Amino acid sequence: MSLSMRDPVIPGTSMAYHPFLPHRAPDFAMSAVLGHQPPFFPALTLPPNGAAALSLPGALAKPIMDQLVGAAETGIPFSSLGPQAHLRPLKTMEPEEEVEDDPKVHLEAKELWDQFHKRGTEMVITKSGRRMFPPFKVRCSGLDKKAKYILLMDIIAADDCRYKFHNSRWMVAGKADPEMPKRMYIHPDSPATGEQWMSKVVTFHKLKLTNNISDKHGFTLAFPSDHATWQGNYSFGTQTILNSMHKYQPRFHIVRANDILKLPYSTFRTYLFPETEFIAVTAYQNDKITQLKIDNNPFAKGFRDTGNGRREKRKQLTLQSMRVFDERHKKENGTSDESSSEQAAFNCFAQASSPAVSTVGTSNLKDLCPSEGESDAEAESKEEHGPEACDAAKITTTTSEEPCRDKSSPAVKGHLFAAEPGGRPRDTGRLDKASPDSRHSPATISSSTRGLGAEERRSPGREGAATSKVEEARALPGKEAFAPLTVQTDAAAAHLAQGPLPGLGFAPGLAGQQFFNGHPLFLHPGQFAMGGAFSSMAAGMGPLLATVSGASTGVSGLDSTAMASAAAAQGLSGASAATLPFHLQQHVLASQSLAMSPFGSLFPYPYTYMAAAAAASSAAASSSVHRHPFLNLNTMRPRLRYSPYSIPVPVPDSSSLLTTALPSMAAAAGPLDGKAAALAASPASVAVDSGSELNSRSSTLSSSSVSLSPKLCSEKEAATSELQSIQRLVSGLEAKPDRSRSTSP
């Protein structure tokens, strides 16, 4: 980090205050120097009880300490710095050499994503965390080879709805539950040079999805309340907390910064890939998705039909059972047809399930669910046309509310995310704005902080346009909010969101402003749970977490041990502090310059509180604005004061996020602007579903049938009854091919 105490110190020079310092300290290479210290300390480690407090002129104390908070990696207990401590700029105002960059991002394995997307991607979330599959991988280009970048990923709510899987498709089932605490995943290789990033596929496969609200794998950065992308405290970690049966959209961010601590000051370029949208589930709902996962995820090989997987064995086992059953049955009937016992066994199934005995696998199943079958058929045929066809079908903006069995429904179901009128996408605005232009020339979505971010100051020319766009976005919230999110990527190039998406970060005016006003950075080192730069950083800075209390008392930083004692001295043990509500903890700790426990006990979100707060917040204000931090920058602070995280904004019905489309969006036009209508009507916006999913379906059937293995009975009646029962079940299975599990007795 440039705010480093490892840099050589120029002795004898005193630090000059610079007006930009509070906001762009990371641009400085600073060193904290004790009067008696040698001018050079590679990794400044001061004795815990070195001397007196850091002595600085009043006007300087606060801004400098703000930066020292960011310098926490040094582990210096600032409270014990010597009386002669000085801060000296090493490279005062020397602008870094910057090469103009124009990052472009391409989603890897787009075809796979498309396959999933068109069926309605589901991602399993578990208590312990489950990886995404397909894994989120991107390839970057257009970066400045020399510059360092931090790459991040997060997952935001795609809309304001709760979903259910009904009639083989996802339907809106009501309003979304309160949002889970926001998490951001920083690629463990961050920061790295543009050259490094561009030389490889950037994969985020280690990110895990969980529904475990008490997950503590995270640390918190406080962002300025008016940060264009994030506001308030944002939690980082390897696990993203999601709500089951809700739709989500992963996002990818590129930040040109050489240090994590600069994030709050840095410019974010954000990219969306609509095909990566998914619904979080605790158990797969759509068997097609299950099958796709099994077919493509190496870890699920054991469930594949081919090879020595369990499926195969189970199938054989079932077959055997059926054979035995059949033999007994025939014996009791006084007949015997040994030569075709296996066939007979299948015939039992076939007869029960469909007249079309020989085509159980596919066609008759399609007939049982024509709509979906038709979709799939279209999708498959599309796929056969190769990548171009896939690209052309990237945007899926239509939704049919017709029932599944309606064969005549238009073949424009890009996927199985069906949105009912109540479904209101949250994150629409910026994407629409970004769509036409950003396809080929992504622009910076947002700059960093109140005042001007470091990047902006450094190169106003470069950032100016982006900044003004952001400002424009803020100035015209309504316009932004009502624009549909229907932009498509160009040949797997990402959308570049040209503005902050709602639903991210915390409500403006919350912690970042409310409790950390003037202190944009608040880091909880104990919550680091990441590798690479983070773990090293965490290791380095673990002991120190300094927060500054207003303009009052300069600074007090505490290492872990010092913190404990200080906390005790102030009558605030870690345990008791941990029981405080989230904002109070922060408030107290900030105002008392207390750091949280380095190992997660103190600062982790009090999730129960948060949930309650969110619920209250949600209930108190159901207006769309309430869920849109960017639409209410100037109005919602008081109401959101106690909400530890923002609630995404629902946008008007007419807007559509990604695939949560509206029936005849173009026709319904309504408030939709021309772009949206055009998108909806354009060929590229129509994803054609298709598919002969013979493998999928047949395996599904056979898989399902396993549980139906007949129980052998000695009595003929019992056997007959059993058989009939099986037949009924199989029949039921075929009638509901996508939810065979539910047909189990």
Partner DNA sequence: TCTCTCACTTC
Partner DNA sequence: TGAAGTGAGAG
Q: Does 124 bind DNA (CB under 7 A)?
A: yes
Q: Does 78 bind DNA (CB under 7 A)?
A: no
Q: Does 630 bind DNA (CB under 7 A)?
A: no
As a whole number of angstroms, the distance between CA 627 and CA 632 comes to 9
Beta-sheet pairing, 278-281 with 246-256: antiparallel
Residues in the interface with DNA (CB under 7 A) total 42
Q: How far is the CB of 135 from DNA (least distance, A)?
A: 7
Contact 224, 633 (CB under 8 A): no
**Residue number with CB closer to DNA (135 or 652):** 135
Q: How far is the CB of 144 from DNA (least distance, A)?
A: 32
Residues 6+ away with beta carbon under 8 Å from 319: 342, 345
Q: Does 281 bind DNA (CB under 7 A)?
A: yes
Q: Does 302 bind DNA (CB under 7 A)?
A: yes
| Span of 77-85, 302-310, 523-531, 720-728 interacting with DNA by CB under 7 A | 302-310
List 211, 225, 396, 593, residue binding DNA (CB under 7 A): 211
Q: Can you read off the two tokens belonging to residue 378?
A: 């279209």
**Residue number with CB closer to DNA (206 or 450):** 206
Q: Does 728 bind DNA (CB under 7 A)?
A: no
Q: Does 251 bind DNA (CB under 7 A)?
A: no
Q: Does 71 bind DNA (CB under 7 A)?
A: no
What DSSP character marks residue 276?
G
Burial code (b: 16+ CB inside 10 Å, e: under 16) for 462-485 equals bbeebbebbeebbeebeebbbbbb
**Residue number with CB closer to DNA (54 or 158):** 158
Query: Would you call 238 exposed, middle or buried from its count of C-beta atoms within 10 A (0-12, 13-18, 19+)?
Result: buried
Cross-strand pairs, 466: none
Q: Does 443 bind DNA (CB under 7 A)?
A: no
Q: Does 303 bind DNA (CB under 7 A)?
A: yes
List 51, 93, 109, 300, residue binding DNA (CB under 7 A): 300
List 175, 314, 405, 439, residue binding DNA (CB under 7 A): 314
Q: Assign 236 to helix, strand or coil.
A: strand
Q: Does 136 bind DNA (CB under 7 A)?
A: no
Residue 154 has phi, psi (to 5 degrees) of -145, 170
**Residue number with CB closer to DNA (196 or 244):** 244
> Peptide bond before 191: cis, by omega within 30 degrees of 0?
yes
Q: How far is the CB of 419 from DNA (least distance, A)?
A: 16
Q: Does 439 bind DNA (CB under 7 A)?
A: no
**Residue number with CB closer to DNA (23 or 293):** 293
CA dihedral 626, 631, 636, 639 (to 10 degrees): 10
In the region spanning residues 553 to 612, those forming contacts with DNA, defined by CB under 7 A, are none
Q: Assign 303 to helix, strand or coil.
A: helix
**Residue number with CB closer to DNA (284 or 599):** 284
Nearest residue to 158 (alpha-carbon basis) of 199, 111, 121: 121
- The DSSP H or E segment spanning 410 is none
Q: Does 175 bind DNA (CB under 7 A)?
A: no
List 110, 208, 415, 433, residue binding DNA (CB under 7 A): 208
In the region spanning residues 655 to 714, those forming contacts with DNA, defined by CB under 7 A, are 703-704, 706-707
Residues 6+ away with beta carbon under 8 Å from 350: 357, 358, 360
**Residue number with CB closer to DNA (597 or 703):** 703
Q: Does 416 bind DNA (CB under 7 A)?
A: no
Nearest residue to 448 (alpha-carbon basis) of 497, 500, 496, 494: 500
Contact 112, 271 (CB under 8 A): no
Residue 442 has phi, psi (to 5 degrees) of -60, 145
Q: Does 733 bind DNA (CB under 7 A)?
A: no
Q: Does 315 bind DNA (CB under 7 A)?
A: no
Q: Does 109 bind DNA (CB under 7 A)?
A: no
Count of CB atoms within 10 A of residue 226's CB?
21
Fill in the amino acid letter for 108: E
In the region spanning residues 155 to 174, those forming contacts with DNA, defined by CB under 7 A, are 164-165, 173
How many helices (H) and strands (E) the chain has is answered by 24, 21
**Residue number with CB closer to DNA (309 or 532):** 309
Q: How far is the CB of 217 from DNA (least distance, A)?
A: 12
Q: Does 308 bind DNA (CB under 7 A)?
A: yes
Contact 177, 679 (CB under 8 A): no
List 13, 14, 126, 333, residue binding DNA (CB under 7 A): 126
Nearest residue to 329 (alpha-carbon basis) of 728, 730, 720, 709: 720
Q: Assign 221 to helix, strand or coil.
A: strand
Beta-sheet pairing, 208-210 with 130-131: antiparallel
**Residue number with CB closer to DNA (170 or 630):** 170
Q: Does 201 bind DNA (CB under 7 A)?
A: no
Contacts to DNA by CB under 7 A: 124, 126-128, 130-131, 133, 164-165, 173, 206, 208, 211, 244-245, 281-285, 290, 293-294, 297-303, 307-310, 313-314, 703-704, 706-707, 741, 744
